[in-house]
Amino acid sequence: NGFRNNATIDQWNAKNSDITVGQYGGNNAALVNQTASDSSVMVRQVGFGNNATANQY
């Protein structure tokens, strides 16, 4: 919640993991890098100027 939020998450070699990012406001940004088996990523952004990048290998 808020304004101009930013989230960067890097996860390596972790199995059965969950990542959840929730951002509410404006000018939000999220970058998620995950190298994990049987894992999930959920990014929810509400507002304006949102940006999300998710890399899962």
Tell me what pLDDT residue 28 has: 92
**Residue ranges per structural domain of the chain:** 6-56
pLDDT tens for residues 1-57? Answer: 778 899 998 988 888 888 889 999 889 999 988 888 888 888 899 988 888 888 888
Q: Looking at residue 6, what is its pLDDT?
A: 92
pLDDT of residue 13: 86
Give the pLDDT confidence score for residue 3 in this predicted structure: 87
Neighbour order of strands in the sheet with 29-35 = 6-12, 29-35, 51-56
| pLDDT score at 54 | 83
Collect contacts of 37-40 with beta carbons under 8 A, ≥24 apart.
39/11, 39/14, 39/15
